[in-house]
Amino acid sequence: MILRLIVAVAAGTALASGAVAWGQGASIEECVIEPIVICGTVDGEIVGDESVVPDALPGDMLIDAPVMTTDTSLDSGIHVPSGCGHAKGCGCAAAPRDYVVFDVLFLDRDNATNNQTILIDGAAGPRSGEMIFTTRSLTPTTAPGVRLFVGEHGHDTTGWEVGYWGVYGWYGDARADLTKGLAVPGAIGAAVPGWDAANSVRATWSSSLNVMELNLLASEFTSDCEPCSRWPQRRCRHDTEIDWIGGLFWAGLEEQAALQVAPFADQPSTSYRVATSSNLFGGQLGLRGRRTWDRFSLEGSLKAGLGGAWLSQSASPITSSIVPNVDYRPGRSAADTGMGFLSSMNMSMAYRFSDVWGLRVGYNLAWLSGVALAPNQWDFTDTVASGTGVRGAGGVFLHGANLGLEARW
């Protein structure tokens, strides 16, 4: 009787220690409970704690825990990976490999033009010859845009993505009104009738940007979890994803600028209009990191690319409403090549409101250089070569917010 009591106490102690270990967040291996046999007899002999298999169990043995079978299917069922790097049954779902990201962009841009003077006080103005405004006076407004990326992480940690982003409708203008007191600078202002003593002058500038990307991904995944937690959401929700990016890009910047001059109040205005097109083709490298905590994710990316630039500009004929049907400068155009640079940065936070869909909000920075800005092409000289070149090496710096949706599965 005493011996039976000792064995029972020992078995109870073993069960208690196993419960404590369980409560301390065991690993996958520690989640397998070894069978315990308590207080059975075989041929009149007392049997202590030991693991047994069903084929060896006598009829009068008492079992107080699950027992292991000779079938290895149970062991393989516990230890077969589920795609997340942990054992099957830990509660981890396979890491999402396919994704679609759609953002609405709201981007400001700087006005890093050449700052040349485009309007001065005329002879009848209060300060003859003094600058009134320059190309830097045409500050662009905030413009909307979109971003759409589709990609897939391959099963061998390589993958791909294709994407587009663009911004449309940047617009800036400046206007001055002074009876007979406004003048276009340079020799062309003196050569065109009414341009040296105008009533009203308005300068406008509009532009849009389009970017396409085709990238290859080399990805690294790590995941932390509590595989034995009673709460499924705690079993595998701390994921880290690193994407090394290499690919190709195209960036196209289209711009128009117009200097509209009205010599008299009852006369129509005439314009000096210029349009430019800048196309960059090249390769880029980048890095993107994403960290997920349950339903929240934080993502940051940086990409930089270098490529060739194809630049062109065209200007309309310059005329005067005072002496119609005369071209004081014919329409002219030019093209050139060079080097361009494109870099972009994004920091976004996502909230997953379903198994697939999430809401995104973030901030963006981008820099595009080696382009031809339309206001830089205004040429106020009056020679045969005027307006026959392309002034490249312009730059555009962008910044602003994004708001959108993502799907990952």
For residue 26, how many C-alpha atoms fall within 13 Å in the half-sphere facing its CB? Answer: 16
Q: Give the per-residue pLDDT at 231.
A: 58
Whole-number Cα distances in Å, 157 to 142, 216, 242, 322:
39, 11, 10, 70
Looking at every residue in the chain, the average pLDDT score rounds to 81
- Residues paired with 341 in a beta bridge: 306, 369
Reported confidence tier of residue 86, pLDDT bands at 50, 70, 90: very low
**311 pLDDT more than 70:** yes
Q: Is residue 18 part of a domain?
A: yes
The whole-angstrom separation of Cα 165 and Cα 152 is: 18
Question: Alpha helix locations (H) across 80-201?
Answer: 186-191
Length of the chain: 409
Backbone angles phi, psi at 23, to 5 degrees: -70, -15
User: 3-state DSSP helix/strand/coil percent for the chain, to nearest 5?
Assistant: 10, 55, 35
Q: Is residue 41 part of a domain?
A: yes
195 and 328 assigned to the same domain: yes
The whole-angstrom separation of Cα 69 and Cα 61 is: 16
392 and 277 assigned to the same domain: yes
Question: Amino acid letter at 271?
Answer: S
266 and 142 assigned to the same domain: yes
* Residue that is last in its domain, among 52, 79, 106: 79
Q: Give the per-residue pLDDT at 66.
A: 46
Residue 92, token pair as written in the block: 């981890």
What mean pLDDT do residues 94-115 have?
90
Residue 184, token pair as written in the block: 């276009």
228 and 364 assigned to the same domain: yes
Question: Amino acid letter at 14?
Answer: A
Q: Is residue 196 part of a domain?
A: yes
**383 pLDDT more than 60:** yes
64 and 112 assigned to the same domain: no
What digits encode the pLDDT tens for the residues 181-212?
A: 999 999 999 999 999 999 999 999 999 999 99
What digits encode the pLDDT tens for the residues 384-396?
A: 999 999 999 999 9
* Residue that is last in its domain, among 51, 79, 107: 79
219 and 153 assigned to the same domain: yes
Reported confidence tier of residue 97, pLDDT bands at 50, 70, 90: confident
Question: Alpha helix locations (H) across 157-198?
Answer: 186-191
Q: Is residue 93 part of a domain?
A: no
Say how many domains are in the chain. Answer: 2
Residue 122, token pair as written in the block: 């005329």
Q: Is residue 84 part of a domain?
A: no
67 and 139 assigned to the same domain: no
Say which range, 97-106, 195-204, 258-267, has the weakest mean pLDDT.
Answer: 258-267
138 and 254 assigned to the same domain: yes
14 and 126 assigned to the same domain: no
7 sits in which H/E element:
helix 2-23
Helix (H, G, I), strand (E, B) or coil at 44: coil
14 and 103 assigned to the same domain: no
30 and 140 assigned to the same domain: no
Give the domain CATH number at 228. Answer: 2.40.128.90
Q: Give the per-residue pLDDT at 28.
A: 42
* Residue that is last in its domain, among 48, 79, 110: 79
121 and 16 assigned to the same domain: no
Say which range, 164-178, 193-207, 228-242, has the weakest mean pLDDT.
Answer: 228-242
What mean pLDDT do residues 160-172 have?
96
Residue 189, token pair as written in the block: 């202002």
Helix (H, G, I), strand (E, B) or coil at 221: strand
Q: Give the per-residue pLDDT at 287.
A: 97
Domain of 40 in residue numbering reads as 2-79
Burial per residue of 233-266, b for 16 or more beta-carbon CB atoms within 10 angstroms, e otherwise: ebbbbebebebebebebbbbbbbebbbbbbbbee
Whole-number Cα distances in Å, 407 to 91, 100, 150, 286, 304:
21, 5, 10, 22, 26
User: Which is more confident, 60 or 106?
Assistant: 106
pTM: 0.75
Reported confidence tier of residue 233, pLDDT bands at 50, 70, 90: low
Evaluate whether 351 touches 296 at the Cβ level (below 8 Å). yes
